Structure 1
């Protein structure tokens, strides 16, 4: 994950910048390979809201159960950690 590029968009269009929180959010990166990684969603206080273990280039994040607000999406592959802000608006 040296040069990870993260795009957060609606589940229908992962290449759209911003996010449309209609229950799921698609997260895509051309630098995430098929090897396993962990995705965590943390609230603005650092409290863990969701953990997903995935592999592959596209992941759908469940955000329907998150309240409106600012979160941090954290991707870790065991060696590196990448963090990206996520704003949820229903």
Structure 2
């Protein structure tokens, strides 16, 4: 969706050849309504070597993409999942 390559640390080599780094992830499930509407969120800490101005989102999928400081990200976070991931990873 963003046209960038990322590297997710895999120190144990579980997905392919191992790659160094801190293998930090959050897998979270939450039921939000009495009807049982459930969300499952996978969040991974990753590395990307790209400047914000080089990100080119797909027109029909993403309106805008940009980098934030930790403080800015916490101010604009839209979900509990986002807030927990930002606080854990940054």
| TM bracket, shorter-chain basis | under 0.3
Structure with greater helix share of residues: 2
Larger radius of gyration: 2
TM-score normalised to structure 1 length? 0.23
TM-score normalised to structure 2 length? 0.23
Structure with greater strand share of residues: 1
